[in-house]
């Protein structure tokens, strides 16, 4: 099993969610997060200066069986990209074990 963590633009969340569902990834968790970016200057709106170094993003946590890894990554890459700086990052790590709390089952079948 693999854990895919993605940090994406909030504006691309609907497209990413739809793409993941189309690939058969029907369960994941997400959070609204704030991070620091490389952009150092601010923007002025109606005479008020706003810092743009604090970036609002959405953080996705997805656990999939190994055979869904590339499909999930492709879905995020294709639907989450704008071609601009700040599109986000994807991190992949191994998951040693998973348990279904309701039944006590363990292994890859817990993800279905």
| The domain over range 2-111 is classified in CATH as 3.40.50.970 | no
Q: Which residue has the higher pLDDT, 55 or 100?
A: 100
pLDDT in tens, 54-71: 778 999 999 999 999 999
Strands 29-36 and 54-64: antiparallel
Query: Which pLDDT score is estimated for 53?
Result: 63
List CB contacts of 42: < 8 A, sequence separation 6 or more: 49, 50, 51, 52, 53
34-42 mean pLDDT:
68
Where are the domains positioned within the chain? Answer: 2-111
Distance (Å) of CA 72 to CA 34, 41, 63, 65, 85: 23, 34, 10, 10, 22
- The percentage of the chain sitting over the pLDDT mark of 70, rounded to a whole number, equals 87
Q: pLDDT band for 109, please (50, 70, 90 cuts).
A: confident
For 31-35, 51-55, 69-73, 92-96, which range has the lowest pLDDT when averaged over its residues? Answer: 51-55
> Does pTM surpass 0.75?
yes
> Per this entry, what is the length of the chain?
112
The one-character DSSP state at 77 is: H
């Amino acid at each position: 099993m693999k854990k895919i963590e993605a940090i994406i633009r909030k504006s691309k969340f609907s497209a990413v969610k739809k793409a993941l569902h189309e690939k058969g990834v029907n369960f994941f968790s997400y959070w609204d997060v704030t991070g620091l970016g490389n952009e150092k200057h601010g923007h002025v709106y109606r005479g008020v200066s706003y810092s743009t170094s604090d970036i609002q993003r959405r953080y996705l946590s997805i656990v999939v069986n190994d055979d869904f890894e590339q499909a999930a990554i492709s879905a995020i890459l294709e639907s989450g990209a704008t071609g601009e700086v700040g599109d986000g990052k994807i991190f992949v790590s191994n998951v040693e074990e998973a348990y279904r709390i309701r039944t006590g089952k363990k292994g890859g079948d817990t993800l279905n």
